[in-house]
Amino acid sequence: MKEIYLDNNATTMIDPSVFELMKPYLENIYGNPNSLHRYGQATHKALNDALNKLYSGLGASDLDDVIITSCATESINWVLKGIYFDEILNKDKNEIIISGVEHPAVGAACAFLEARLGVKVKTLPVNSEGTCNVDDLKAMISDKTALVNVMWANNETGMIFPIKELAQVAHEHGALFHTDATQAVGKIKVDFRSAGVDFASFSAHKFHGPKGVGGLYIKQGLKLTSLLHGGEHMGGRRSGTLNVAGIVGMAEALRLANLMLDYENSHIRRLRDKLEDEILTIPDVSVVGIRANRVPNTILASIKGVEGEAMLWDLNKAGIAASTGSACASETLESNPIMEAIGAEADLAHTALRLSLSRFNTESEIDYAAEQIKAAAKRLRAISSTYAYSPSWLKKDK
Measured from the CB atom, the residue of 204 and 306 that comes closer to ligand 7TS is 204
Q: Is residue 132 flagged as an active site residue?
A: no
How far CA 218 is from CA of 78, 79, 109, 211, in Å, comes to: 11, 9, 19, 22
What minimum distance in Å lies between the beta carbon of 366 and ligand 7TS?
20
Measured from the CB atom, the residue of 72 and 349 that comes closer to ligand 7TS is 72
What minimum distance in Å lies between the beta carbon of 91 and ligand 7TS?
27
Measured from the CB atom, the residue of 105 and 344 that comes closer to ligand 7TS is 105
Measured from the CB atom, the residue of 12 and 390 that comes closer to ligand 7TS is 12
Measured from the CB atom, the residue of 76 and 282 that comes closer to ligand 7TS is 76
What minimum distance in Å lies between the beta carbon of 152 and ligand 7TS?
8
Measured from the CB atom, the residue of 10 and 376 that comes closer to ligand 7TS is 10
Give the residues lining the site for ligand 7TS (CB under 6 A).
Answer: 9-10, 71-73, 103, 105, 151, 155, 180, 182-183, 203, 205, 214, 326-328
Residue of 71, 110, 132, 328 marked catalytic: 328
Instruction: Check: CB of residue 273 under 8 Å from CB of residue 347.
Output: no
Question: Using only C-alpha atoms, what is the Rg of the chain?
Answer: 22
What minimum distance in Å lies between the beta carbon of 246 and ligand 7TS?
12
- Residues taking part in catalysis: 328
